[in-house]
Structure 1
Amino acid sequence: MLAKAARNALAKQSKSASRFRGCLYSKRNAPHVISRPATAPATLPLPASRDDADLIALFDQPTLSQWASTSSSTGLFGHSILTTPSAFNALADSTLRSAQLLTDRVLRARESREELFKVVKNLDRLSDLLCGVIDLAELVRNAHPDKAWVQSADEVYEKLCEFMNILNTHVGLYEVLYSVLSDPEVVESLSPEAHQTALIFWRDFEKSGIDLPPVQRKRFVSLSTEILLLGRQFLNETMGARPPAHIKPAELQGLKDMGMGARLRLQAQVTQRDLLVYPGSLQAQMIMRAAPAEEPRQKVYMAANSSTPEQIEVLEKLLQARGQLARLVGKDSYAHMTLADKMAKSPENVQHFLGALLDHTRPYARNALRTLSMRKQAHLNTAPYPIIQAWDRDFYCPPEPPAPPVTLPPLTLGTVFMGLSRLFQNLYGVSLRLAEVTPGEVWHNDVRKLEVVDEDSGVLGYIYADLFARRGKPGGAAHYTVRCSRRTDDDDAEGDLRHADEHDLTVVQLSREFGSSHRRQFSGQEGTFQLPLVVLLCEFVRPTVGRGPTVLEWHEVMTLFHEMGHAMHSMIGRTEYQNVSGTRCATDFVELPSILMEHFLNSTAVLSLFDPNGSFAIRQNGNHHEDPCKSIDTHTQILLAALDQIYHSREACDPGFDSTATLARLYETRGLIPYVPGTSWQTQFGHLFGYGATYYSYLFDRAIASRVWSKLFAHDPLRRETGEKFKREILRHGGGKDPWTMVGKLLDAPELETGDAEAMAEVGRWRIEDEVSVPGRH
C-alpha cells in the first residue's frame, strides 16, 4: 500500500519501472516510416513563438544565466526550509511526526461516521506526505554533487522507508479500509477515481500478507527482506566484469577494422602472447563485428555469456524466494501475485500476448535469418544455408547507429527542446517556457528550470532538466517524479491536529510548510491542486564557449522525446489523488505515452518543428534503410519475456529447478539461433529483479503505441483534435481509470475494454512498427 514509493525508489536503483515512475529507457533504433497525408492535407504547424526562441538560448548558450535578478536565496525546489543537509533531516523528523498523527487519525476513523467517509482521502494524503520526501531524497542521492547532501538524503530515505514499511503491514489500517469498502453508503459516496485509489491500497495491503496469521506474516517479512538482499546482490553481479577471452594473434588475420584492428594485430605481434579481450570492451565489440574468423568471435561470446556457480545460485535463490512468497499469500506463483493488478491480469494472459506476437514475428525473423545465412554461405563458400550461430549475428549484420529517416542539419539541445515545445503546443495547447531560478533552488549550475504552460489554465507544473554528464552522476536517462498532482483544498489538515499537543504543533510546522507549497487553482476546475515537479536526468555533452552548443546524436533525440513523454504524462495527468497521478499507473501501461513520443520522430511534419524559420529543407535520406535484423532482435525480446514468465512460474519452486537448463530448453523449442552449451546468460538479465514477471511490458506498450500512432496520428500528426483526444482519454487520468477502458475508448475499440485473454492476444497481433530494444536504464 503505502510502501510504493520505497519500492519505486528501489526499482530506480535496479533500472526498472514501477507505478510511481515508469521510466523504462533504452538505446533506440531509428524509426523507418515517414508519415505522409492520405486524402486530406496535413495540419500546418503553429509558428515558433518568442518563448520557443528563448528555449534555444537557454540550453545552447553556456554563459546564459537563469538566475532571478531580484529574488533572495531559497532552498531546493524553492522550499525555504531546504537550505542545508541538516535541514533535510529536520524535515524528515517533522514529516514522521505529521505522518504518525495522520495515521492515528485514520485508526480512529470508525469512531466517527464523518471520519469514515474521509479514510480514502486521508490514506492518500498519508502516502503523499511520505512520498513527497522519499521521492525528493531519491533524487538528491542520485543527482546532488555534494556528499553531505547525499548522506543526508540516504538517512532521510532509510528513516522514512522504515516507517512506510510499518504502515504497509499495519493491521489496524487494513481493518479500517475493510470497514470502508464493506460499507455500501461509504462506497457509494466514492468517485470512480477515489474507488480506484481505495482498491489500490487494498491490493497493496494484501500483497504484503496483511491478512496472514502472525507467524506467517513474520515469515512474509523475512522473505521480503531476503528477496531485497538477493536482488541487490544479483544486480551487483550482473554489473561485474566477466573473465577475458584469450585470443591468439593468428585469429585476428583479416580483421576489417583498420584502426583498432591494426593496433590489436600489432600488439599481438609485439608481445607474441594471447590477447586478453574483456567482454563489453571496445575490443570485444570490434571483434564481434569485424573478425572474419569464427574462433575469436566464439571465444568472446562464450566469455561474455559465462557465469560462476555462485552467480547462478544467487539468481535461483531469488526466484525461489519469490515463489515461496507468492505461495505464502495463496498465489500459484510470483507471476500470478504480481500481474493481478496489471493490464495482463494473469500469466496465462501474458502467454496469449506473447504467443500471438511470436506468431506474427517468427516469419519475418526467419526470413532475416535466411538473409544472414546466405551472407555466411557467400563468405565461407559453404553449402547452402549454414546455421547462424549466436556469435555470427553482429558480424553478418553489424548494428548501425540510429539515424533520422530524412537528412537533417545538426540538432542542438536547445533546438530539440524548441521542437518539443512546438509539438506539445500543436497537440495539446501546452508549451514549455523558461523559468527563473533562485539561488539555492537547484543542486547544480547545469540544471535548467522550465514551466509547463497550458494556453487556458496557465502553469501546470515544472520540469527541472539536469541533462549534462558530470563525475559521480548516474549514467543513462531518467524521469523522476519529485511531487505529484493531487487536490488539496479538501484536505482538512487541521483535523490531523485535534489530538496533538503543543510540542507536536511545533514539530510538524516544517512538514506543513513543505507540503503547502506549489499549489494553485485552475480556471474551470473545482478545487486547488498541487503542482507536479519532475526532474529529467541525462548525460549529454556539456556546451562550452569554445566548442559551442550541445549537438545531439539521433538516439539522444529519441531519448529526450521518450523521457518528455513521461514528463507530459506527469504534467497533464491532474487527478484528485496522488496515488493515481500521471505515471503512477500499471507497469504495463506506463510506457505508452513515452513510446508514442518516439513515433512522432517518424514524421516530416514533426521534424520541421526543429526549424523555427523554415530555412532548411528536409530531404529524403538516401542512406536510410530498414534493418534486416530488426525482426531477429524482436524475436529475441519475446523469448526473454517468455523466460521471465517461466522463471516466475511454479517451476522455479521445484526442487530440481535449473535456470540454465530452462534457458536452453526455451531456445531449443522456440528459438531461432541455437543455444550455446556452456553459456548461462541469465545471470546478466538484470531486469529479472526490477521487472520480475513484467518484462513483457515494453513489448506490450510498444504494440499499443504502434497501433495508436498508425490509427490516430500517422496521417496528420499535428492535428489538435487528435492530440486533445489522447490527452482526454489517456494522459488526463493517470492510473485513475482502468487502462483497458482508456485504450478501448481511444482506439474506438470497445471489444478491448474487457481486458481478457482475447484482448491480450489482439494486442499481440498488432504490428510493432519500429525496432524493439531492451528496456533498461531508467
Structure 2
Amino acid sequence: MNPELTQWTGPLGLPRFDLIRDEDFAPGFDACLKLAADAVEAIAANPEPPDFDNTVAALETAEEPLNRLCAIFFTLAGVDSNPARQDLQRRIAPRLAAHGSRVSMDPRLFDRVEAVRQDMDDLSPEDRRLTELTLRGLRRAGAGLTGAARDRMAAIRERLAVLSTDFTQNLLTDERDFTMAVADDALAGLPDWLIRAMRAAARERGLPGQIVTLNRSLIVPFLEYAEDRALREAAWRAWAARGDGSGAGGAATDNRPIAAEILQLRHERARLLGYPDFASYKLEPEMAGNAENVEALLMQVWAPARARAEQDAARFTEMLRGDGVNGALAPWDWRFYAERRRKAEHDLDETEIKPYLTLDAMIGAVFDTANRLFGLEMRALDAELWAPDVRAWRVTRGDRLLAVFLGDFHARPGKRSGAWCSTLQSQHRIGAGQHPIVVNVCNFTPPEDKGAPVYLSWDDAHTLFHEFGHALHNILSDVTWPSISGTSVARDFVELPSQLFEHWLEQPEVLDRHARHAETGAPLPAALRDRIIAAGNADQGFATVEYLESALVDLAFHRGEPPADPMARQAEVLAGLGAPAAIPMRHATPHFAHVFSGDGYSSGYYSYMWSEVMDADAFEAFMEKGDAFDPETAEKLERWILSKGDSLPADELWLKFRERRPGVDALLRGRGLVAGP
C-alpha cells in the first residue's frame, strides 16, 4: 500500500496528493478494510470485562487508517472525478457498506457498550455522552436484530450504498456533459463579465465561441440576463432535466427508478427497526423530533412566502406582456424579470457590483470577520494539493495552531456542482491531539484569462461566507473524541453556524473595508452598498417557495408508505400546496442530491430553515448589544456552539448560548416576509 494514503507527509500533516496515483486506491482499500476489520474484531473479542477505555474509546480510533483513506478518495471523487475514480467508487461502495454493517450490527459490540452504559458514574460528562451516542448508533444501525432481519438489514445497507453512488454519478455525468453554444448574435443582454466566463468555459473544453454549462455560477446569471427567451428556455430545461433520463447522459443517467428504490429500501429499513416510516426513524435524534414539528414550522412560512411570490408573479406577468409575450409566466422567465425589477427599483446592476466582489476581496472579508470575532489568523501555506488553483492556509490564534484550511473555489469539468464543507481529518484530543484539516468547496466561474480577478455575484459571496461558517464549526472544535467533534451534530443544528456567519457579509463595516474595485481599488460607494443591502429581500418569495417545495416533498417522500412513483408524489405535493407554476422545486427529485446521494439530508432538507430560525435569533443577540462584533457574545457563541460539537444535545447548547428558545418571527422579518423592525 502506498503509505501516503494513510501516513500523510505534507506540511502540517496534509496529504501529498502529488505522490498518490489512482491505481494506489484499490490496494489501499483492500489493506485498510482488513486493518479496520481486525481492529474492531480485537475490541469485540476482548476477553477483558468491557470498560470505557477498552470498548468505547477503542472504537474511536479502530478505523483510523480507513477513515484517512476514505477522506482522500471521496474528496477527489467530488472535486476531480474521472472514469477510474468513478469505477472504483462504484466497486468500493458496497464493500464499505458491508464493513459498516458488520461493525455496527455486531451484537458483541452492542453488549459491551451497553455494559459500559450501565456503569458510567466515574466517567466525565463528555465520555458519558460518547457512550450514549455510540450505543444509540449501534441500536439504530440494527445491532439488536437477529436472523433473517439482520441479514436483510445488511443487504439493504449495501444496496443503498450502490444506489446512492449511481445517483451521484448520473447527476455528475449530466452536469459535466451538457454544453449549449450561444452564437455571437444571441448575446443581447448578457454583461461583459458573463460573456467572458462563457468563453472561458468553452476554451476549457476545447470549444469555439461561448457556451452555457450547468455550473450554477454560469447558468443562473444566463437566466437572469439573456434577452433571447428561447435560449433561456433551452438552458432552463437542461438544468431541470438533470437526472431524469432526458439530459446529456440520456436514459443511462435516469435517476427516477433509483430514487424510487431508495425510498422503498429506506422504508423497509425503518420498519425492521420498529419505526412506522423512515421519517420517524430519521427525525428521532434531531432537534425537531418528529415530522409533525417539521411540517408545522414549514407551513408557518409557506403562507406568507407564497403570498409574496404570487404578488411578484403578477408583476412579472405584466412585464412579460409589455415585451409582447402573451403566454404564461414560465420558470425561465422568473429570474430574468426579477433581475430587471431589481435594477429598476433598487438601481442595481450586477455589472456595477461585481468588480467590488472579487473572490480575493471576499476571502479577505471572511478571514477578517473570523479574526475580529474569534481572533483567528490565516496565513498562506504552500502545499501540493489536487489541483493547481486549490489554496491552503494555516489557522492560528496566538501561538497555537488550530487548523489547516483548504479552499477549492473554481468550477472545473468533473467537479460535483454546488458548495460544501468537509474535513480530511477531524479535531480531537486523544493522546497528543489532532488539529482539523477543513475543506471548503465552491463552484465559482474561473476567469477568462489566468490571473485575472474572479468576480462573484452577491449570492456567490453569501455562499463563501456560508461554507466558512461550517469551516469555523470544525476549526474551533475543542472536544476529546473525533466522532463528536466539529459538524458531527444533529442535522437540523449543523446549518446554524453556516447560516449565522452569512449575516456578517451584510454588515456595512465589512463591505466598507473589503469590497474594493478590482481595477481602481476604490471602496464600494456607500450609496451602492445601501442599495445592495436594501435589495437583499427583493426576490425572497421565489427563494423561500422553491426551498419549501423541496423540503415538503422530501418530508412527504419519507412519511407513511413510500411512493411507487416519486414523480407522481412530487406532483401531488406541489398541487396540494398550490405551488406557483413558474417556481419549480429548487431540487427536483431526479437531481435532489441532498436526499438521494446518501441519506444525510433525507427527511432532513427542512434543516436549513430549522437552523435559520436559530441563526436569525442568534444574530439578534449581537444586535441587542449594538455591535455585530460584540466580543462577549462572540465568546459565548464559540464556547457553547462552535467549540462543543455534539458533546451536549443541540437544544441544551442553544439554551446555554441564548438562554431562551427561538421563535419564527426573526426569520420572517429577516426574509422580508412580514413587516417589522
TM > 0.5 between the two? yes
Question: Which residue is 1:111 aligned to?
Answer: 48
CA distance in 1, matches of 2:284, 2:151: 23
1:740 to 2:673 alignment: no
Distance 1:716 1:259, change over 3 A: closer
Pick aligned residue for 1:462 from 357, 382, 404: 404
AA partner of residue 338 (structure 2):
C
1:33-52 to structure 2, matched below 5 A, reads: none
Distance 1:216 1:358, change over 3 A: same
Pick aligned residue for 1:347 from 284, 291, 302: 291
AA partner of residue 194 (structure 1):
D
Pick aligned residue for 1:534 from 406, 427, 438: 438
CA distance in 2, matches of 1:660, 1:471: 29
1:201 to 2:134 alignment: yes
What secondary structure, in the 3-state scheme, does the structure 1 residue paired with 2:379 have?
strand
What secondary structure, in the 3-state scheme, does the structure 2 residue paired with 1:589 have?
helix
| Structure 1 residue 96 displacement after superposition | 4.9
1:766 to 2:667 alignment: yes
Identity %: 23
Question: Which residue is 1:590 aligned to?
Answer: 494
| Structure 1 residue 345 displacement after superposition | 1.6
Contact 2:427 2:435 in 1 (8 A): yes
Question: Which residue is 2:556 aligned to?
Answer: 646
Q: Deviations over 1:487-532 (max 9, x none)?
A: 222xxxxxxxxxxxxxxxxxxxxxxxxxxxxxxxxxxxxxx42111
Q: Deviations over 1:409-429 (max 9, x none)?
A: 635444333333322221111
AA partner of residue 230 (structure 1):
L
Question: Which residue is 2:580 aligned to?
Answer: 673
Question: Which residue is 1:172 aligned to?
Answer: 108
Question: Which residue is 1:716 aligned to?
Answer: 627
CA distance in 2, matches of 1:135, 1:151: 17
1:415 to 2:361 alignment: yes
What secondary structure, in the 3-state scheme, does the structure 1 residue paired with 2:494 have?
coil
AA partner of residue 103 (structure 1):
V
Question: Which residue is 2:526 aligned to?
Answer: 619
- Which deviates more from structure 2 when the two are superposed, residues 726-735 or residues 156-165? 156-165
| Structure 1 residue 312 displacement after superposition | 4.1
CA distance in 2, matches of 1:78, 1:292: 48
What secondary structure, in the 3-state scheme, does the structure 2 residue paired with 1:733 have?
coil
Contact 1:449 1:463 in 2 (8 A): yes
1:191 to 2:124 alignment: yes
Q: Deviations over 1:572-605 (max 9, x none)?
A: 0121010111111122211211122221111011
Q: Deviations over 1:657-699 (max 9, x none)?
A: 543443333233322424999xx95334343314321111122
| Structure 1 residue 432 displacement after superposition | 0.9
Contact 1:643 1:666 in 2 (8 A): yes
Q: Deviations over 1:324-375 (max 9, x none)?
A: 2211211111111111122222112211211222244344334333433554
Q: Deviations over 1:281-326 (max 9, x none)?
A: 9999978976798999699769956778975444323222221221
AA partner of residue 415 (structure 1):
A
Q: Which has the larger radius of gyration?
A: 1
Distance 1:296 1:190, change over 3 A: closer
Question: Which residue is 2:640 aligned to?
Answer: 729
Report the RMSD for the aligned CA atoms in angstroms. 4.7
Contact 1:334 1:648 in 2 (8 A): yes
Q: Deviations over 1:237-282 (max 9, x none)?
A: 556769xxxxxxxxxxxx994789xxxxxxxxxxxxxxxx999799
- Which deviates more from structure 2 when the two are superposed, residues 585-594 or residues 85-94? 85-94
CA distance in 2, matches of 1:381, 1:149: 48
1:280-429 to structure 2, matched below 5 A, reads: 304=240, 312-375=256-319, 393-394=334-335, 396-398=337-339, 410-429=356-375
Distance 1:365 1:150, change over 3 A: closer
Question: Which residue is 2:391 aligned to?
Answer: 448
TM-score, normalization by structure 1: 0.67
CA distance in 2, matches of 1:153, 1:381: 48
1:82-161 to structure 2, matched below 5 A, reads: 83-85=19-21, 95-96=32-33, 98-100=35-37, 102-109=39-46, 111-112=48-49, 115-116=51-52, 118-143=54-79
Question: Which residue is 2:6 aligned to?
Answer: none
Contact 1:390 1:673 in 2 (8 A): no
Question: Which residue is 1:435 aligned to?
Answer: 381
AA partner of residue 218 (structure 1):
D
Structure with more helix by fraction: 2
Contact 1:81 1:87 in 2 (8 A): no
TM-score, normalization by structure 2: 0.76
AA partner of residue 543 (structure 2):
D
Contact 1:604 1:618 in 2 (8 A): no
CA distance in 2, matches of 1:608, 1:289: 28
Pick aligned residue for 1:557 from 450, 455, 461: 461
Structure 2: runs of 5+ lacking an equivalent? 1-8, 176-185, 192-210
Distance 1:607 1:577, change over 3 A: same
What secondary structure, in the 3-state scheme, does the structure 1 residue paired with 2:394 have?
strand
| Structure 1 residue 475 displacement after superposition | 4.7
The number of residue pairs the alignment matches comes to 609
AA partner of residue 285 (structure 2):
D
Contact 1:109 1:176 in 2 (8 A): no
CA distance in 1, matches of 2:60, 2:238: 51
CA distance in 1, matches of 2:364, 2:219: 39
| Structure 1 residue 133 displacement after superposition | 3.0
1:562-573 to structure 2, matched below 5 A, reads: 562-573=466-477
Contact 2:622 2:629 in 1 (8 A): no
AA partner of residue 453 (structure 1):
T
| Structure 1 residue 609 displacement after superposition | 3.6
What secondary structure, in the 3-state scheme, does the structure 1 residue paired with 2:160 have?
helix
CA distance in 1, matches of 2:487, 2:109: 26
What secondary structure, in the 3-state scheme, does the structure 1 residue paired with 2:145 have?
coil
Contact 2:214 2:239 in 1 (8 A): no
Contact 1:239 1:684 in 2 (8 A): no
What secondary structure, in the 3-state scheme, does the structure 2 residue paired with 1:650 have?
coil
Contact 2:98 2:158 in 1 (8 A): no
Question: Which residue is 1:663 aligned to?
Answer: 570
| Structure 1 residue 149 displacement after superposition | 9.4
Distance 1:738 1:480, change over 3 A: same
CA distance in 1, matches of 2:105, 2:115: 17
Question: Which residue is 2:423 aligned to?
Answer: 481
What secondary structure, in the 3-state scheme, does the structure 2 residue paired with 1:205 have?
helix
Q: Which has the higher contact order (CA 8 A, sep 6+)?
A: 1
Q: Deviations over 1:726-756 (max 9, x none)?
A: 111110101222111222232221x46xxxx
Contact 2:358 2:455 in 1 (8 A): yes
What secondary structure, in the 3-state scheme, does the structure 1 residue paired with 2:469 have?
helix
Distance 1:355 1:468, change over 3 A: closer
Contact 1:702 1:768 in 2 (8 A): no
Contact 1:174 1:210 in 2 (8 A): yes
Contact 1:76 1:82 in 2 (8 A): no
Contact 1:700 1:764 in 2 (8 A): no
Q: Deviations over 1:540-561 (max 9, x none)?
A: 5668997545454444433322
1:745-760 to structure 2, matched below 5 A, reads: 745-749=656-660, 751=661
